[in-house]
Amino acid sequence: MKKDEVERPGYLAVWSPRDPECPNGVVLLNVEHPVLLKQIAHHQAQYPDHFASEVETEVLGVYEEVAIAKIAHSEFLRSILPSPEVDGELRSPHALTLALLGLVAEDFVINNRLSKKFGKARPVT
């Protein structure tokens, strides 16, 4: 999604539990978030320009997968916390954004995937 589609442009991701196209819910990723754009540019700089589009796809894919995993893992907490707390707080745009800003785990996965796909990264200057 684009930043103008997000309730607040600072959100990196939003959980939509009752999306008409995805009845089981969907995580919407703000593809124009400054952190995400910096991550894409950082990883694109490490590979030849002709891989730029594929690198962007990989970076976005990792963030999407991690966001989905955060929602799936929060399901376990229903056995410990009240459901309204899980839905309203742990799956809030605030919580998802903060969870995705960890960057260390995402960077590890991105670097691993890109090196397998495109070979050794060139040094960042």
Q: What is the pLDDT of residues 72-82, one digit of tens each?
A: 999 999 999 99
In this prediction the pTM is: 0.78
In angstroms, the CA 24 to CA 114 distance is 30
Tell me the percentage of the chain whose pLDDT exceeds 90: 60
Q: What is the pLDDT of residues 57-108, one digit of tens each?
A: 999 999 999 999 999 999 999 999 999 999 999 999 999 999 888 667 777 8
Output the CA angle 74-23-88, nearest 5 degrees: 35
Angstrom CA distances, 125 to 20, 40, 45, 91, stand at 45, 16, 9, 37
pLDDT at 3 over 50: no
In angstroms, the CA 125 to CA 121 distance is 12
